[in-house]
């Protein structure tokens, strides 16, 4: 059988005055017994999570120990309602700000990923530009054979037919062209790195 509180017949104002005079938390405990379930319902309504709401109730009544000393409370029930509602709204604002910060971080990560991709594309474009420039510096035969072999995907036999060079000349132009192209590209890349 539940034990009846000896302060059951005290008004809210009497409990608050007794608490303020004695500093004994038992008086706030009696207020908790009276209104804890109402505060819990209010917190669930705003916070939409039972565990968060239970934590909020404990925090609210814990804060009352200090805040009742700071405020003159005439109508405790309505004051507690407003106090609890404000606490819940503050928690929602904190949660919203935290979510906004997390979204900002995500947006920054996405921006950096996009920036890195753009930077990577710029490097590729730069390499292609350097390759085209180096290719244009090769002699006519090497350039022609490399373009047909690598860019047009032609076989040695097809290149022989298109250019009129013999098979050995095509092989030689491709091998020498590759080597010369590589050297010219490295020189251009090193030249840019030294700027």
Q: What is the pLDDT of residues 94-144, one digit of tens each?
A: 888 777 776 766 666 666 665 555 566 667 777 777 788 888 899 999 989
Global confidence as pTM: 0.50
Cα 56 to Cα 85: distance, rounded to the nearest angstrom: 11
Cα 93 to Cα 165: distance, rounded to the nearest angstrom: 78
Across all residues in the chain, what is the average pLDDT?
Answer: 84
Q: What H or E segment, with its residue span, contains residue 46?
A: helix 26-47
CATH of domain 102-193: 1.10.10.10
Cα 88 to Cα 95: distance, rounded to the nearest angstrom: 10
Which two tokens mark 52?
């968060």
Q: Looking at residues 71-76, what average pLDDT do you find?
A: 87
- Domain ranges, ordered by start, for the chain: 12-99, 102-193
In this prediction, residue 194 carries a pLDDT of 57
CATH of domain 12-99: 1.10.1740.10
**CB-count exposure of residue 24 (10 Å: 0-12, 13-18, 19+):** exposed
Cα 155 to Cα 89: distance, rounded to the nearest angstrom: 74
Cα 86 to Cα 93: distance, rounded to the nearest angstrom: 10
The single-letter DSSP state of residue 194 is: T
Residue identified by tokens 């509180």 is: 5
Comparing CA positions, the residue from 82, 90, 25 lying closest to residue 52 is 90
> Quick one: angle between helices 26-47 and 76-136, nearest 10?
40
Q: What is the pLDDT of residues 21-48, one digit of tens each?
A: 998 888 888 999 999 999 999 999 999 9
Q: What is the pLDDT of residues 1-18, one digit of tens each?
A: 344 468 778 888 889 898
Within 10 angstroms of residue 172's Cβ, the number of other Cβ atoms is 15
18, 10 contact by CB (below 8 A): yes
């Amino acid at each position: 059988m539940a034990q009846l509180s000896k302060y059951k017949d005290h008004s809210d104002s009497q409990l608050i005055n007794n608490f303020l005079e004695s500093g004994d938390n038992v008086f706030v405990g009696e207020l908790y017994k009276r209104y804890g379930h109402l505060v819990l319902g209010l917190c669930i309504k705003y916070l939409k999570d039972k565990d968060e709401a239970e934590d909020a109730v404990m925090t609210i009544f814990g804060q009352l120990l200090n805040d009742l000393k700071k405020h003159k409370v005439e109508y405790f029930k309505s004051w507690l309602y407003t106090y609890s509602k404000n606490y819940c709204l503050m928690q929602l604002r904190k949660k919203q700000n935290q979510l906004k910060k997390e979204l900002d971080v995500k947006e920054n990560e996405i921006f950096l990923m996009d920036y890195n991709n753009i930077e990577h594309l710029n490097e590729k474009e730069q390499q292609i530009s350097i390759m085209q420039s180096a290719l244009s510096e090769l002699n006519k035969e090497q350039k022609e054979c490399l373009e047909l072999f690598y860019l047009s995907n032609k076989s040695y036999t097809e290149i022989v037919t298109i250019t009129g060079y013999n098979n050995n000349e095509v092989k030689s132009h491709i091998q020498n062209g590759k080597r010369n192209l590589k050297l010219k590209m490295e020189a251009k890349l090193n030249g840019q790195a030294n700027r």
